[in-house]
Amino acid sequence: MKRIFLFLATNIAIMFVLSITLRILGVDSLLQQNGSDLNVQALVIFSGVIGFGGAFISLAMSRWMAKRMTGAVVITSPATNMERWLLDTVEKQARIVGIKMPEVAIFPSAQMNAFATGASKNNALVAVSQGLLNNMAQGEIEAVIGHEMSHVANGDMVTLTLIQGVVNTFVVFFSRLVGHIVDRVILKNERGYGIGYFITSMFAQLVLSILASLIVMYFSRQREFIADTGGADLAGHQNMINALKRLAQKEPESLPEQLAAFGISEKRKADMTHLWSSHPPIEARIEALEKRAAARSR
């Protein structure tokens, strides 16, 4: 109920801010002076519904999609000692961070990776790759699980969905506003929308979406540092550092785009594209943990 209220409140706040801002800037008056028939209030509502609606539909389907995109198999009855230990570890950490036991799954990949997803912190999925189980020590696996459990406990899935919904709303609104101005004010089209509207709005949406992704990825990178400290608190700083060092030894396999932000790591990107990365460089994450561990030992 709290998260539903947060969704509605954020959506209403964004639409309210857009409406007030446009009035202060005189956009309504400018459009009327040029004979424009754009209903700004209707466009604001449309943008909010589309912007947040798509983001939250994806969130609601996230567990179902994750299992099918990665082939993750949920452990319902542990068949091996490793599966039993994995369930026990997740259950122990769930009690510590104060959330309900999430689904625990293993997905078939030789690469070392893990992810968490779900519509809420009490309705989540934590999955690890077979490669991670085969190549990491138990303390390192426990740290990786702690990292993912921290994502869940901190509500990072909902937080990023809210941020994505906000930027989506602005992208939808301003791309269509620009298209309308070009079509009605500049090209003087008076009947329906012409080719100028569709080309301009599509181009504006592409450019704005690229810029908006910078905001989402920035917040995603900050959440990774926080999840690392959560993993360190649950399994020990050295285990978390060792897990990251092991991940740095071999480039991980890319997770599906919808899950990438909540994986333990991602493929390294060129310097020119690091701003669009969902994860900070592993070296920076290790350095942050080492500084935190040193500060605590003083």
Q: What are the catalytic residues?
A: 148
What crossing angle do the helices spanning 40-60 and 2-25 adopt, rounded to 10°? 150
Q: What is the rounded CA–CA span in Å between residue 117 and residue 111?
A: 19
**Residue 88's CB: how many other CB atoms inside 10 A?**
11
Tokens of 4: 């539903």
Name which of 258, 289, 287, 253 is nearest 268 in CA terms: 253
Q: Say which amino acid occupies 174.
A: F
Q: Is the dihedral of CA 47, 48, 51, 53 positive or negative?
A: negative
Contacts of residue 266, defined as CB under 8 A and 6 or more positions apart, other chains included, come to: 252, 254, 255, 260, 277, 278, 279
What is the Cα Rg of the chain in Å? 23
Q: Quick check: 235 and 141 in contact, CB under 8 A?
A: no
**Residue 33's CB: how many other CB atoms inside 10 A?**
10
Tokens of 23: 């009035």
- Residue 240: phi, psi to the nearest 5? -65, -40
- Looking up tokens 């509502």 gives 45
SS3 124: strand
Q: Quick check: 286 and 244 in contact, CB under 8 A?
A: yes
Q: Quick check: 199 and 178 in contact, CB under 8 A?
A: no
Number of H helices, E strands in the chain: 12, 4
